[in-house]
Amino acid sequence: MEKTSVKKDIVIIGAGMAGLTAALYAGRMNLNTIVLENAIVGGQIANATGIENYPGFMTVTGKELIETVQKQAENVGAVVDEFDIIERLELQNETKLVETANYIYETPVVILATGMNRRKLPLAEESKFANRGVHYCELCDGHMYQDKIIAVMGGGNAALDAALFLTKYASKLYLVHRSQFRADEITQEKVKQNSKIEIMLETEITKLLGDTRLRKIEILDKNTQSSSLLDVDAIFVNIGVEPNTALFKDQIKLSKRGHILAGEDCRTNLDGVFAAGDIREKEIHQLTTAASDGTTAALLAEKYIAKLREVN
C-alpha cells in the first residue's frame, strides 16, 4: 500500500507532559500539529497516584493531569496519535520527514519530547513493591517517608544528592552502593558529615522482602560474601536513567549522559528541531520543567516557521 503524504506545521514526538504542552501551545497558534506517541499517552507520570508538586493542584493523579492536558491540546486542534510507531525520521533538511506505518509527514519543525526511563532495580520482586516501598523519584515520593528508614541505591552524584535530600524526611538512611562512589568529592564529604547517613560500599541489594509493601532488604557484603537483612520502609533506586534517543541518536548531538544537547531555548544543533522535557540535557527533570520546555519549544517553533514563510 502506498503511503499518504501529509503536510504538517509541527510534528511532536512523544506524548508526555512536554509533548502535550507543546501541542497545546502550537494548537493555540493555529499551527497544524500532530503528536506521535509510540505507546500510551502520558509518559512517566501516567501511573503516578498522588502528585503534590504540580502548581494549581493540591493533589492530582498522573492520569487526571495528563488527560486534562491532552484534552486542552485536542480542543485547540492538535491531533494526538497513540501507539504510532515511527519507522523513519529525517531531520537534516529544511523539510523534515517522519514516516509511520500509514503516513509520511512533511514538516518544517519537529519537537523531540521522547523523555526517559529510569533504570529499574534489576530484581524480580521490583514490580511487586513498585510504589509500595520501591521508588525512583525522591522529589516526588520522599515526603511519604517522614521519620522512616530509607535506603538509597547508587553511587553517582544523583544518588548522593538524593540521599542528602531524603535526610529531610528520614530518621535513618542507608546509602548502598556496589563499588566505590563516583560522585564528586564535595558531595561525598557532605554525605560523610551527615549523621543520619550510614554508608555501605561494596554492598549489593540482593532481595526485597515484605508483605503488601516493602519491609526489609537483603544485602550482600561483597568483601566477606556474607548476607544480612536491613529493616527499611523504602528504597530509592538511583542507578541511572536511559533517555529515549534510539530514533534520532545518529542525527542529533547528545550529551555524555545521552540526553539531547539543547539550551533553555530548546534549540538543537539542527534548524527546526527542538528538544523538550526530560530528553533535554538539564539538571532538573520534573513535570513543571517539562511543561516549561514544551511551552518554549512551541513558541520558538512558531517564530521559526514565521521566518521561513517570510523567506519562501
72 part of the interface to ligand FAD, by CB under 6 A:
no
- Report the distance separating Cα 200 and Cα 297, nearest Å: 43
Q: Minimal distance in Å, beta carbon 160 to ligand FAD?
A: 19
Interface with ligand FAD includes 154 (CB under 6 A)?
no
In the numeric block, the cell 547508587 is attached to 154
108 or 294, CB closer to ligand FAD?
294
Residue 105 CA to its chain's centroid (Å): 26
Q: Rule CB under 6 A: is residue 22 a binding residue for ligand FAD?
A: no
Catalytic residue from among 141, 161, 233, 293: 141
The interface with ligand FAD within residues 235-254 (CB under 6 A) comprises 244, 247
Burial class (CB in 10 A: 0-12, 13-18, 19+), 215: middle
End-to-end alpha carbon distance in the chain? 33
Q: Which stretch binds ligand FAD (CB under 6 A): 132-140, 161-169, 194-202, 265-273?
A: 132-140
Question: Which one of the spans 115-123, 162-170, 183-191, 259-267 is the region binding ligand FAD (CB under 6 A)?
Answer: 115-123
Q: Is 278 annotated in the active site?
A: no
Nearer to ligand FAD, 14 or 154 (CB): 14
43 near ligand FAD (CB under 6 A): yes
Q: Which is nearer to ligand FAD, 191 or 291 (CB)?
A: 291
Query: Do 118 and 241 form a contact (C-beta atoms < 8 A)?
Result: yes
- Is residue 107 a contact residue for ligand FAD (CB under 6 A)? no
Please identify which of the residues 84, 140, 266, 293 carries the catalytic annotation.
Answer: 140
Go through the chain and tell me how many residues it has.
312
Assess whether 137 carries a catalytic annotation.
Answer: yes
> Cα separation of 141 and 99, whole Å?
39
Does 17 bind ligand FAD (CB under 6 A)? Our answer is yes
What does the DSSP 8-state code read for residue 178? S
Q: Does 138 bind ligand FAD (CB under 6 A)?
A: no
Instruction: Sort strands 149-153 and 109-112 into parallel, antiparallel or unpaired.
Output: unpaired
Does 266 participate in catalysis according to the annotation? Answer: no
Q: How far, in Å, CA of 81 to CA of 101, rounded?
A: 12
Among 8, 10, 11, 14, binds ligand FAD (CB under 6 A): 14
What is the DSSP secondary-structure string of 124-158? TTHHHHBTTTEES-HHHHGGGGTT-EEEEE--SHH
* Residue carrying the nine cell digits 486542552: 72
| Cross-strand pairs, 106 | 7, 97
Pick between residue 14 and residue 108 the one whose CB is nearest to ligand FAD.
14
Nearest to 232 by CA among 220, 215, 218: 215
Give the residues lining the site for ligand FAD (CB under 6 A): 13-19, 36-39, 42-45, 48, 51, 53, 86, 113-116, 118, 136-137, 140, 244, 247, 277-278, 285-288, 290
Instruction: Supply the residues annotated as catalytic.
Output: 137, 140-141
